[in-house]
Amino acid sequence: MNIGHEMSLLEKLDISRNFLNGSIPPSMSRMASFSFLHLSSNHLSGALPTNWQALQGLTVIDLSCNNLSGRIPSSMWLSPSLIWLKLRNNDLYGKLSSTLQKCTGLFALDLGGDKFFGAIPNLITFQISTINPACAIL
């Protein structure tokens, strides 16, 4: 199924806890109306797609408790509407990009259980009320 083509008007998707496997399809970037993506507690694997900048209305991303690996693409931080990002308990790693500072509406960030290192970029300009880097290497 080409989810980006067949469901291009979909606004919210919550298919958490469904034993899904495989990778997140890059075609999801064609879902211009997308605002809510909740794919937690599945068996998704592979790298995160790199084309998040196309999802300008995306406010909530929860990809926690999967087997996703690699670095967070800097395009993930380019969504001006993003307020909630939960990536905990995957196999993500690397230094947090300074591009994170462009997500000025970010309210909650949960990276616990992953392998990030270095300083968390200056969050003074954020409205952030919840940050959970627990279990991460900072």
Domain boundaries, the chain: 3-132
* Predicted local distance difference test score (pLDDT) of residue 104: 77
* Predicted local distance difference test score (pLDDT) of residue 68: 98
Q: Pick 3-132's CATH classification: 3.40.50.1000, 3.40.50.10070, 3.80.10.10, 3.40.1160.10.
A: 3.80.10.10
Residue reference for tokens 């970029």: 121
* Predicted local distance difference test score (pLDDT) of residue 4: 65
* Predicted local distance difference test score (pLDDT) of residue 102: 75
Half-sphere exposure of 23 (CA within 13 A, CB side): 10
Q: What's the CA gap between 72 and 69, in Å, rounded?
A: 9
* Predicted local distance difference test score (pLDDT) of residue 28: 84
With beta carbons less than 8 A apart as the criterion, state whether 29 and 5 touch. no
The list of the chain residues with pLDDT below 70 reads 1-5, 121-138
Residue reference for tokens 């211009």: 32
* Predicted local distance difference test score (pLDDT) of residue 136: 42
Instruction: Determine whether 117 is exposed, middle or buried from the number of CB atoms within 10 Å of its CB (0-12, 13-18, 19+).
Output: exposed
* Predicted local distance difference test score (pLDDT) of residue 137: 39
Residue reference for tokens 């309210």: 107
